[in-house]
Amino acid sequence: MEKIWQEVQFNISKVMTPQTFNAWIKPIRFQSVQGDYLILEVPDSFSREFIKEKYSGIISEAMTALTSTSYSLEFALQEKRDPIPETPVPAPEAGIDSNVNKAKSEKEADFQTFLNPKYTFEKFVCGSSNQFAYAASQAVANNPATNYNPLFIYGGVGLGKTHLLIAIGNQILASNSSARICYYTSEKFMNEMINSLRHKKMDEFRNKFRKADVLLIDDIQFMANKPATQEEFFHTFNSLYESHKQIVLTSDKFPKEIPDLEERLRSRFEWGLIADIQPPDTETKSAILKKKAEFDGIMLPDDVALFLSSSSASNVRELEGMLVRLGAYSSLTNSKITLTMAREVLKDIIVDKSKDISIESIQKTVADHFQLKVSDLKSDKRIKTLVVPRQIAIYICRELTKASYPEIGEKFGGKDHSTVIHSVKKIEKLFAQDNEIRNTIDFIKRSLLS
């Protein structure tokens, strides 16, 4: 594989300038292949972000062209703080986590699973927003297929569902290295199923899943509107459930809210335990940032952690992105992270509430965006086309101005402060769950701040 990587580098060198190649591609080292993941090592966190953003595409293409395999790229730092495990890296054919390496060859052939080792319970910060899902996941990991089967974890984007799902797998493997853990996204389940159908290998496909001790399926909501996938998954589910094997599913929606999901699947998803994850509060956000900073060796002062966690980001992935940006800037400029530096580096991402934005300008911008009149936003009319824009306008007022709830209510036709709170909460929830709403709000905020 090392050789293939060198060839990939050579091919890439033909399509970019020598300067760019020497600066970014040449220093990348091949580390390992684990399942579908190609793990490459890069010199530092700044180049990791840069390469990820700019060169992932070209690397993937060059890799696929040579190997006819589509790998997901993972970038590790060349000087890791973690001791390098002594276990030899699994060969591509084995393609499984090193823990599993010890298990039987039959298992190696069947379970090409890579469980990201960074997702463990130790690295998960538990707060009021996620403690139920956290406790349920631990219970399942400690006693699989006993009380909570299936476990269905649901919550908005980037709130830690995958982290908990994989932490369950990692913990089960830690106590039983020969456990057959099968981790799949539902999209991958579907793609493999289609390939197996095409190549008349459905028996193999079915057998593989049915041999699992633990089935972890991420983002089950992607099975919506896919009747053939649902049909196949229904049989997989039944077979494992009847053999008392643990099933854990994640979704961004409650089973009842997944559109076009067959009733028999929906009811099965509700058989066990349903645990939700809500957006974290400021305290939890701060704790997550500090834990991550500590782990990545980033010196994050308390006031900066507070500044980041008081931002509107409710998605942990977004928060982590801010931290990575600060860490990269700090190491690149050889300077300490301070509040002033954080404000400057993140000025396009974090809204500075001190900037003078009036409620009137927010109302006008939101009304223009939705092609409404400002008077519609201030009115009490309850039609849906007005309610959501009105709630968005109220939410943005709360985000971008220092106005209190009663003051905002006053400017929206004399609404009660409880109506304002309700609107803010409603949009906070949608913001965490609905991409379209989030994009709309970000767009409006950007036009107000530009």
Ligand X SMILES: Nc1ncnc2c1ncn2[C@@H]1O[C@H](COP(=O)(O)OP(=O)(O)OP(=O)(O)O)[C@@H](O)[C@H]1O
**Residue with Cβ nearer ligand X (129 or 391):** 129
Q: Which of 113, 162, 221, 311 binds ligand X (CB under 6 A)?
A: 162
Give SS3 for 182. strand
Q: Which residue, among 142, 228, 96, 156, has the nearest Cα to 431 in the 3D structure? A: 156
CB 35 within 8 A of CB 96: yes
Q: Which of 24, 124, 154, 209 binds ligand X (CB under 6 A)?
A: 124
Interactions with ligand X, residue window 208-237 (CB under 6 A): 219
Q: Which residue, among 384, 385, 401, has the nearest Cα to 449 in the 3D structure? A: 401
414 is in an annotated binding site: no
Q: Which of 223, 288, 324, 396 binds ligand X (CB under 6 A)?
A: 288
Q: Which of 35, 90, 150, 158 binds ligand X (CB under 6 A)?
A: 158
Q: What is the dihedral of CA 287, 40, 208, 187, to 10 degrees?
A: 70
Interactions with ligand X, residue window 129-148 (CB under 6 A): 130
DSSP-assigned letter for residue 264: H
Q: Cβ of 267: how many Cβ atoms within 10 Å?
A: 10
Torsion sign (Cα): 382, 393, 303, 277: positive
Q: Is residue 161 a contact residue for ligand X (CB under 6 A)?
A: yes
Q: Cβ of 98: how many Cβ atoms within 10 Å?
A: 18
Give SS3 for 173. helix
- What phi, psi does 33 have (nearest 5°)? -120, 125
Options 135-143, 157-165, 406-414, 433-441: segment touching ligand X (CB under 6 A): 157-165
The minimum distance between CB 176 and ligand X, in angstroms, equals 23
End-to-end CA, the chain: 48
The reply to whether omega before 150 is within 30° of 0 (cis) is yes
Interactions with ligand X, residue window 295-324 (CB under 6 A): 316-317, 320
The minimum distance between CB 320 and ligand X, in angstroms, equals 5
Q: Is residue 159 a contact residue for ligand X (CB under 6 A)?
A: yes
Q: Which residue, among 395, 421, 384, 426, has the nearest Cα to 406 in the 3D structure? A: 421
**Residue with Cβ nearer ligand X (288 or 420):** 288
Options 15-23, 161-169, 206-214, 440-448: segment touching ligand X (CB under 6 A): 161-169
35 is in an annotated binding site: no
Q: Is residue 389 a contact residue for ligand X (CB under 6 A)?
A: no
The minimum distance between CB 218 and ligand X, in angstroms, equals 7
Per the annotation, binding residues are 158, 160-162
Binding residues for ligand X (CB under 6 A): 123-125, 130, 155, 157-163, 219, 252, 288, 316-317, 320
Per the annotation, binding residues for ATP are 158, 160-162
